[in-house]
Amino acid sequence: MRITNSLLALVVAAAVVQADEIPIGKKKVRGVIVKREGDSTWINTFNTRIPRVVNGTERFPSARVGEPVPPKEAHVVYLRALHQKCPLGKRPTADAEFAMGELAESLELESVAARHYTAALRVDPSHAGATAKADALRLKPRLAADPRSNPALAKALDAWFTTESLSDRKQALATLARDHGFAHDLRYMERVRRSRQQPKGRHDDVALTFRSKDNKGVYTIFVPKGYDPLRPWPLVVGLHGGGADGRDGKDVVGSGRGAMNFYQSGAARYGYIVVCPSALRAPWANRMNDPFLLAVLDEVCLLYNIDLNRIYLTGHSMGGYGTWHYGPRYAERWAAISPMAGGGHNGLGVLEKTKTPVYLYHGADDQVVGCGDSRRAADSMRAKELDFVYAEIPDSGHGFPNDVCAEMWSFFAQRRLAATPRRSRKGRFTVQLDPLSSFEQKVSRDERLYFGAPGEDASGDKKTLLARIKLGGGAASDAADALIELKDKSTVSPLAGLLKSKKVADDVKAQAIRALGGMGIAGAVKPLGKSLRKLSVDLVPAAADALAALGDRSAVSALAKCLGRIDDEFEARRLGKAMAFSDWKRCMDAYAATATALGTLGDASAVAAMRSSADAVLLQDWKPRESERSGLDPKRPLGRAVAAMIAASTKLGGDDGAALAANLREKHRGSPGVK
């Protein structure tokens, strides 16, 4: 057997269905055996193994049911065996790795077999069978070049990662190549070094950095604690549910934070990175979301070592619609897709051509999104003999049941990307079993701009930092942190200039405000105070916090007037006594921050402005939108605003302050945060 370094591409048959062929008397059906009980056997032709599924499940006398005949395609045989011998969430034994190596070798999967034999020796260096294979196939250099099996190399790499000088790292990498046969180049290793600095675990509302000048937004990400940036990891992209909100319909109910709750436990258990972007507009098919979603995907592939042959797309409700939209649209990027409780299936022809597997779920009794589209999609996929599963749960409503979640992870584990040689839509799609690291990709102009080119020293001078502020997103946040440390008075004027411009995006202004407040320079008070007259209500909390941090009482007048601006914004956004939740929250957050700043900086004269806002808004009865299913609880932002105003009016003192505090307590007794 000859071992090569090139990626293995397996040619698969025209039909990519992974269902078994089950003899029933003289006929044969495609499906899976769900269970055998007594003299009966249950078969599901939609390929789900969840016992409570009724749709597509039929009972047959066991005497008529023959043994299932599994698909014979090499990649299916291999991936099924891998799932059985090396199950999700468990560390494989040396014997299991060796057995998988022998199976791969019998299937003529040379590079796959080599990976398993070396993995067996990492687990047990004395394993006789793996040692013999390593000798015969000359795999010892691979083990020597792997820090997981070479302690000396691991120690040298630890030192390499902590080396500050770029020139020293270049020289040390050449030494590692000479002494240990370590093959990764400087570009790859500098990306690994950058990735080691990224946080593990769950992180909510991360500001997008990559292409943030044109795409504004946030995402929630989960990285397993065992993440090792030296090797590629699978990635799941999860799209949240929800819908449009706000008086103008430009806000979104639902977020990446909410979506992550579906996937985090499985990702931690099975070793997947998950990213859940928050849509810029509802629905996901809105044109604004398209470049944003791609930017998030590209950013994660730059910051984390992602296996480009194991990227999966899923989503629930509105996210299920989004999965049906983006699944076919970028089918050449997904190893599989999983629309959950959504609708739409017009891209089946594309999915058939690109051999993209589909795991589909819907509740039969879903009262939010009917299951008609999902049933039609399942019927079409069964007729076309696509690789798919359809799990229609009889009593799950619009939920996401645990058994569906578990089957989805199992489905993903047994699928890899089918790609053309140039990874486009032209050519023959073949299943890729070897990992392909995102760190192997060429350096793009955008990577240089937003993250710096790997292997090049980044500049941190004042001019560069001010330029990076203008990029917005994560780049602006990092630049603001650096400017706060720099504390250069000459940066106040250009930062203040950003607040005046109508062409500057809010995320840029937010970081300019934070930098002005964090530097602690007195000259920042005047431009921040003036900005309160024209800034959007979304930026009022940042400006109020910055002024409070600067501690200059000359800002009290501007803060007091800002309460009137918030009153006007509230009036413009309300619909009678009703209000969209997003509009309600932005106004309440602005009230809370402004009142807190007045409590820090003001005197008794500021109570009059707070009394005016309380009379106009906080002491009135309103009916903002609420939804337990979508997590919209208007009492919480209201409680924060009321509590902040009570604290400020009490601190500022006087009879008026005490009376206002008493009125607010009486009106909102029992509200969250109000004492």
Kind of pairing between the strands at 358-363 and 336-340:
parallel
- What local confidence, expressed as pLDDT, does residue 653 receive? 85
pTM: 0.94
- What local confidence, expressed as pLDDT, does residue 65 receive? 96
Distance CA 105, CA 119 (A): 15
DSSP labels, 207-247: EP-TTTTT---EEEEEE-TT--TTS-EEEEEEE---EEEST
- What local confidence, expressed as pLDDT, does residue 573 receive? 96
* Dihedral class, residue 328 (left if φ above 0, else alpha if ψ from -120 to 50, else beta): alpha
Cα-based distances in Å from 145 to 5, 162, 399:
14, 20, 47
Q: What is the mean pLDDT of the chain?
A: 94
Q: Which residues of the chain have pLDDT under 50?
A: 1-16
- What local confidence, expressed as pLDDT, does residue 425 receive? 85
Model confidence pLDDT, tens digit, residues 64-118: 999 999 999 999 999 999 999 998 889 999 999 999 999 999 999 999 999 999 9
Listed by start position, the domains of the chain span: 9-144, 151-182, 201-440, 459-531, 550-675
What residues does 23 pair with on adjacent strands?
28
Look up residue 543 and give its DSSP letter.
H
- What local confidence, expressed as pLDDT, does residue 458 receive? 73
- What local confidence, expressed as pLDDT, does residue 504 receive? 96
Phi, psi of 32 (to 5 degrees): -135, 150
DSSP labels, 290-353: HHHHHHHHHHHHHHS-EEEEEEEEEEETHHHHHHHHHHHHTGGG-SEEEEES----TTHHHHHH
| Beta-carbon-side half-sphere exposure of residue 110 (alpha carbons within 13 Å) | 13
Region 459-531: CATH code: 1.25.10
Look up residue 249 and give its DSSP letter.
S
- What local confidence, expressed as pLDDT, does residue 15 receive? 36
- What local confidence, expressed as pLDDT, does residue 1 receive? 37
Amino acid at position 2, single letter: R
- What local confidence, expressed as pLDDT, does residue 88 receive? 85
Distance CA 528, CA 555 (A): 8
CATH second-level architecture of 201-440?
Answer: 3-Layer(aba) Sandwich (3.40)
Model confidence pLDDT, tens digit, residues 187-246: 999 999 999 999 999 999 999 999 999 999 999 999 999 999 999 999 999 999 999 999
Q: State both tokens at 251.
A: 């806000």
Q: Residue 26: CB partners within 8 Å, gap ≥ 6?
A: none
DSSP labels, 649-673: HHHH-HHHHHHHHHHHHHHTTTSTT
- What local confidence, expressed as pLDDT, does residue 346 receive? 84
The 10 Å Cβ neighbour count of residue 155 is 11
